[in-house]
């Protein structure tokens, strides 16, 4: 929940309560937006429906702008925001595996839980696959620990790598998103699909 715990604004217990409430709200919004449909989610890979791309990209930009303005007003110290370390090779392989799972199953972990909650059997099977994958990864971790930690680049930020300010980076991401949204609209017109 951001740097609220390090600054002792909220306790760890309240952090869990807030996370629970936000999680339920997130699930409600996913279902209300139709993201519990595997066809809608798979549509992004086939070009006939780019709503998922637009919604999640918009959410990312909103978070970027929020953090940027909060830091400019001095209300948040971005140095206290945790950035996951980058393990290059495991990120690449994990991204390929998750991408294939997304295309084949039509769900990501969050949307699969949302769809399972409303009784979709394919989502329940997808979750079983996730649990099996987590179990295999956890139990076999000593085997691939060295590979998992290979290419450790530390906590990277793209803006720092290319040497630009956070404001300029956010602006460039917004421009990129607008181009991506227009490209998505073009793809939807080219790869139409009957209503599902």
1 occurs within a structural domain: no
Q: Is the pLDDT of residue 116 over 70?
A: yes
* pTM to 2 decimal places: 0.74
Q: What is the mean pLDDT of the chain?
A: 87
8 occurs within a structural domain: no
Number of domains in the chain: 1
Listing DSSP states for the chain in one string gives: -GGGTTTTSS-HHHHHHHHHHHHHHHHHHHHHTTTT-HHHHHHHHHTS--HHHHHHHHHHHHHHHHHHHHHHTTS--GGGS----EEHHHHHHHHHHHHHHHHHHS--HHHHHHHHHTT-HHHHHHHHHHHHHHHHHHHTHHHHHHHHTTTEEES--HHHHHT--HHHHHHHHHHHHHHHHHHHHHHHHHS-----
Domain limits for position 128 = 14-190
167 occurs within a structural domain: yes
Condensed to tens digits (0 to 9), the pLDDT of residues 123-178 reads 999 999 999 999 999 999 999 899 988 889 888 888 888 999 988 999 999 999 99
195 occurs within a structural domain: no
4 occurs within a structural domain: no
């Amino acid at each position: 929940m951001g740097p609220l715990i390090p600054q002792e604004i909220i306790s760890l217990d309240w952090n869990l309560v807030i996370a629970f409430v936000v999680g339920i709200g997130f699930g409600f919004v996913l279902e209300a937006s139709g993201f519990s449909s595997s066809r809608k989610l798979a549509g992004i890979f086939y070009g006939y429906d780019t709503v998922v791309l637009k919604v999640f990209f918009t959410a990312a930009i909103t978070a970027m702008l929020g953090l940027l303005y909060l830091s400019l007003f001095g209300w948040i110290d971005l140095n206290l925001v945790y950035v996951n370390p980058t393990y290059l090779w495991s990120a690449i392989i994990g991204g390929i595996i998750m991408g294939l799972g997304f295309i084949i199953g039509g769900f990501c972990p969050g949307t699969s839980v949302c769809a399972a909650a409303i009784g979709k059997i394919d989502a329940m099977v997808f979750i079983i696959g996730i649990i099996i994958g987590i179990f295999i990864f956890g139990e076999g971790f000593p085997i691939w620990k060295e590979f998992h930690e290979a290419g450790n680049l530390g906590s990277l930020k793209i803006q720092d790598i290319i040497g630009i300010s956070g404001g300029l980076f956010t602006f460039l991401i917004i421009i990129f998103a607008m181009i991506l949204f227009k490209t998505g609209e073009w793809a939807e017109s080219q790869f139409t699909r009957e209503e599902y």
